[in-house]
Structure 1
Amino acid sequence: MHEKKRALNEVFGLLKLSYHNQFNSAFPDTETLNHAKRLWLESLSAFSAAEIVAGAKRAIRQSEYLPTVHKMLQLCAAGDSGLPDARAAYREACNAPSPKANHNWSHPAVYHAGRESNWFFLANNSESVAYPVFAEHYRKICARVLEGEKLPAPEQLRLEDNPGKPLSKEENAQKMAALRAELDL
C-alpha cells in the first residue's frame, strides 16, 4: 500500500506539471487534493504501482485534458499493448484471419469479445447488426479487465507434431476399394 501511495503522489506530481491550469482548477486546495488522492487510491487498487504510473504517462502522451478516474482506469488497464476503443476492436475482430486464436491480437479482450459475439455472426451480419452485439460483449470484458482480471491469451492451434507418412499407391487403392465396398458404390 505504501508503494501505491508513493506512486500516486508521483502521478499527481506528473499531472500537475503536465496539466498545470486544469490541475489547479480541479484541486484548488489541499483538502480537495487529499480527497482526490484517496478516491484514486481506492479506485486504482487493482493495479500495481508501476501500472498506475504508466497509466498517468499514457494520459500525458495521449490527452491534452486532465484524466478522470474513469479514464485512468482505462489507461492503467491498457498496459503496453493497450485496450483499443470498441470500434477499433470490432474492426480488428472482423478482419482477423482464421484461425482466430493464432492472430496476434492487440489485446486478449478483443479476441474474447469476438469469440463471445460468435465469429460466424460477426462475419455474416452487417456492421449495424453485429457491432452493437460485439460492443456490449467488449464493454463487459473491458469492465472485468478494469477490475484487475487478467484474461488468458487465446490458445493457439498447432498442426499435429507427428502427421504420419503418406500411403503408397497400393495402400491407397486398398483403402479406396474398402470404402467403395462399405458404401456400395
Structure 2
Amino acid sequence: MNEVFGLLKLSYHNQFNSAFPDTETLNHAKRLWLESLAAFTPAQMVAGAKRAIRQSEYLPTVHKMLQFCAAGDNGLPEARAAYREACNAPSPKATFNWSHPAVYHAGRAANWFFLANNPEHVAYPVFAEHYRKICARVLEGEALPKPEQPLLEEKPGKPLSKTENAERMAKLRAELEL
C-alpha cells in the first residue's frame, strides 16, 4: 500500500497533499484503502495505481481504484467504453469476442433491442446501471459465465411433402375461420 500511495503522491502531488494534509489523515486513508482493496494482490494494487495514473487526470477515489485494480490487462472497461462496445457488437451477440463477460451480461440485462433503438441519452443510463451492478458482483469475486450461443437442434425434422403442407394449411384455415 505504501508503494501505491508513493506512486499517487508523485503523480498527483498537489491533489494528494490537499487530500492527505497530515500523517494521521494519510494513515487513516491507507487503512481504508487496504481494507477496500483486500481482494487484490499487492502487484494488482500497484498495477491499478499505474493504470489510474495513465487514465485519470485526478487523484482516484477508493471506488475508482477498485475499478482500476479489477481491470487487469483484459479486465473491466470503463462504463462508456463498455456501452459503445455493447452497442456496436454484431449479432449474434454471444459469439462476439467481448473485452469482458460483464459487458455482454450488462447489454443483455439492458435489452439489446432497447440499446439499438433508443438514443444514447436514454439508453446509456439504463446500461450503466446494469453494468455498475454487474461490476460490483465481479469486484466481490463472482465469476461471470461466458456468453453461450444456443445450438441448433441436432436432428432437424424432415420437410413435409406438398400434400402434408396443403393438409396443415387447410386445418389452420379452418381453425382460424378464414
Which bin holds the TM-score, normalised by the shorter protein? 0.7 to 0.9
Q: Which residue of 55, 61, 69 corresponds with 1:68?
A: 61
Which residue of structure 2 lines up, in the alignment, with residue 183 of structure 1? 168
* 1:154 to 1:48, Cα distance in 2 relative to 1, 3 A: farther
Is the Cα–Cα contact under 8 Å of residues 94 and 122 in structure 1 kept in the other structure?
yes
1:123-164, CA deviations, whole angstroms, 9 ceiling, x for partnerless residues?
33343443332222112112222333332222255678x899
Q: Name 1:42's counterpart in structure 2.
A: 35
TM-score by length of 1: 0.74
Q: Partners in 2 of 1:88 and 1:11 — Cα distance?
A: 26
1:136-155 equivalences under 5 Å are 136-155=129-148
- 1:5 is aligned to none
Identity %: 80
**For 1:64 and 1:87, how far apart are their aligned partners in 2?**
17
- List gaps (5 residues or longer) in structure 1: 1-7
1:99-178 correspondence runs (5 A): 99-156=92-149, 176-177=161-162
Supply the AA of the counterpart residue of 1:183: R
Note if contact 1:10-1:53 (Cα within 8 Å) is conserved in structure 2: yes
Shift of 1:22: 2.9
Q: List structure 1 runs of 4+ shifted beyond 6 angstroms.
A: none
Question: Over aligned residue pairs, what C-alpha RMSD do you find?
Answer: 2.8
Supply the distance in 2 between the matched residues of 1:28 and 1:14 (Cα, whole angstroms).
17
1:72 is paired with a residue of what secondary structure?
A: helix
Number of paired residues? 169
Alignment match, 1:4 = none
User: How far is 1:84 from its partner?
Assistant: 2.9
* Equivalence for 2:173: none
Q: Kindly state the Cα deviation for residue 81 of structure 1 after the two structures are TM-superposed.
A: 2.3
Change in 2 beyond 3 A, CA 1:35/1:103:
same
| TM-score, normalised via structure 2 length | 0.77
Letter in 1 for 2:8: L
User: 2 CA distance for matches of 1:23 and 1:184?
Assistant: 76
Q: Does the 8 Å contact 1:99/1:157 carry over to 2?
A: no
